[in-house]
Amino acid sequence: MSLKPYVSLITLGVEDLERSVAFYRDGLGWPVSGASAEDVAFLRTGGVVLSLYPRDKLAEDARMEPNGVGFRGITLAHNVREREDVDRALETAVAAGAKLTKPGEDAFWGGRSGYFADPDGHLWEVAWNPGFPLGPGGYPELPE
């Protein structure tokens, strides 16, 4: 298998790197790695690296036209361990400057979830899913 099943990094294209670093590092309290450079920030998480990089340079790197509007068709999720953590985490994000697109609410699948958009509109779901217990890395360890 030449493309093993894993995700190494997620890169968020950003308009203003300083603003985004302030949001994730100062607002959410996420650690920025010393491997970061002038035009890129690497956030250390429990697993996949979250990278912040200028949006136009990201498009150029992927050989794409940089124009794009509307729903991006991709979301990230941050699952929490307790039901009441959902609203608390959303409040933290909003206090850090995120836009709440969906307040926490009970979900048809038995948990609770809400969404926020980061300063560049990247969407994060905050979810409590009792059927998906979280491992130490912060991601659910799903059955085969």
Cα–Cα distance measured from residue 121 to residue 30, given in angstroms and rounded to the nearest whole number: 18
Site for a second copy in 85-124 (CB under 8 A): 85, 88-89, 91-93, 101-102, 113, 115, 120-123
Contact residue for a second copy among 20, 21, 23, 55 (CB under 8 A) = 55
Cα–Cα distance measured from residue 40 to residue 91, given in angstroms and rounded to the nearest whole number: 27
Tell me whether residue 22 or residue 72 sits nearer to a second copy (CB atom): 72
- In the complex, what is the shortest distance from the CB of residue 133 to a second copy, in angstroms, rounded to a whole number? 11
Residue 82, token pair as written in the block: 């307790």
φ/ψ (deg, to 5) at 31: -80, 130
Asked if residue 38 binds a second copy (CB under 8 A), the reply is no
- In the complex, what is the shortest distance from the CB of residue 51 to a second copy, in angstroms, rounded to a whole number? 8
Contact residue for a second copy among 39, 76, 83, 106 (CB under 8 A) = 76
Nearest to 82 by CA among 45, 137, 46, 129: 129
